[in-house]
Amino acid sequence: MDAASELLVFTLGIITIIILTAKLRIHAFFALISVSIVMGLVLGISPNDLVKNIVDGFGGTLGYVGLLIFAATIIGELLSKTGATIVISQSILRLVGRSRTALAVGTTGFLVALPVTCNDTAFLILSPVARVLGRASGHSTFVISLALAAGTYSSFKLVFPAAPLYAAAIFHANLAAVIVLGFLISVPVFAVGLLWTHIYASHSGFHSDQSDRCAQNDLSFTHDRVTNDDLPSLIESYGVIVVPLILILLRALGDVYLFESNAFRVLTDFIGYPVIAMLFGVGLSLFVARKHATEEVSEWFGGGVARAASIVAIVGAGGVLGRILLTAAYDETLSRLTLAR
């Protein structure tokens, strides 16, 4: 199959996925898996190799990302159920005011995604707080979520190390220049993202709604059997989010400033590894939930696992598609098309 035909298969595959998920409302997991299989067969991958690609693509992607998703979602569920999200949202609203909630959430996501070096993790761990802030400030949860996405994705995709790390390493770029230019570019991109969020939400009728407005003047909290008396302290609430980020940041700083292999370096490398740091966060969230019955906390924990399962399935299916494209050598296809021009 020539390069143009391979590119056509890729384009049709992406369009099919969009139609299946956006128009026909088919679950993204099934859409990604089925289209990946069809694309693999059309591209000439043998059935045996195709099966291997499906298994390797799904498992390889989830070996690391899946653990992060499960940990972040469990933390978010426990923060929400214990009322820690309302404690955090109260403090943010007192600091920035209701009118600047979207900006505050977006900026928080922008800053958090940098040390975490994973936009998905930053978004997941902050999304419960964003939802409560949306209700409490009178903004639609849809708007706040878009603002959070604008912040996390802008910094992660453009600011070193995160995503630019690989490009900088490949081209042996000046790291100081990469960091400065990446940051300077990310700020206007973030601003455009917030502006687009505001314009899109205004034209789509999502800027606010009655269900969000009803919470504007009521920051009291009652969730199931959780009352205001059971709410965790401000330090506990923030600690669940901040401690994992600090551990990850310590590891990043250790990579830069600690070149010798000593006990402290070994410790920071271990506890600051994102998966381990997020598991620390899970442990802290369980500590925050200590006032509640074990059966209740176990139910909340299970709810977090259930919510994460759908996300994990979609991410794994995306890994399958990526593996199919890698096997089909689409990088070489694009190179041939570029040289042909």
| 341 residues of the chain, pLDDT tens digit each | 667 788 888 889 999 999 999 889 999 999 999 999 999 999 888 999 999 999 998 988 787 778 888 888 888 888 888 888 778 777 877 887 777 888 888 888 887 776 555 666 677 777 777 777 777 777 777 788 888 888 888 888 887 666 676 566 556 677 667 778 888 998 999 999 988 888 877 776 655 544 444 344 444 444 444 555 678 888 998 888 888 878 877 887 776 666 566 788 888 888 888 789 889 999 999 999 988 999 999 999 998 898 888 888 888 898 898 888 888 776 566 555 555 55
Cα–Cα distance measured from residue 154 to residue 187, given in angstroms and rounded to the nearest whole number:
8
Contact 3, 333 (CB under 8 A): yes
Specify the length of the chain in residues.
341
Distance CA 148, CA 59 (A): 29
Q: Residue 88 and residue 238: Cα distance in Å, rounded? A: 7
From the list 256, 284, 116, the residue with the least C-alpha distance to 176 is: 256
The CA distance from 310 to 314, in Å, is 6
Crossing angle for the helix pair 263-271 and 274-288, to the nearest 10 degrees: 70
Report CA-CA distances (Å) from 152 to 180, 181, 249.
18, 18, 16
Contact 192, 253 (CB under 8 A): no
| Total-model pTM | 0.70
Alpha-helical regions (H) of the chain: 3-18, 28-42, 47-62, 65-82, 84-96, 101-116, 119-137, 141-158, 164-170, 175-204, 210-213, 234-257, 263-271, 274-288, 294-327, 330-340
DSSP-based three-state secondary structure for 209: coil
Half-sphere exposure of 188 toward its Cβ, with a 13 Å CA cutoff?
4
Contact 239, 284 (CB under 8 A): yes
User: How far is it, in rounded angstroms, from Cα 238 to Cα 51?
Assistant: 45
pLDDT of residue 210: 43
| 224: CB partners within 8 A, 6+ apart | 81
Cβ atoms 21, 2 nearer than 8 A:
no
Residue 333 structure tokens: 């296809």
pLDDT at residue number 208: 54
pLDDT of residue 341: 56
In the Cβ-directed half-sphere of 151, how many Cα atoms lie within 13 Å? 27
Give the sign of the dihedral formed by CA 122, CA 127, CA 128, CA 129.
positive
**Residue 106, pLDDT score:** 85
Residues 6+ apart with CB under 8 A from 273: 251
Per-residue confidence (pLDDT) for residue 115, from 0 to 100: 57
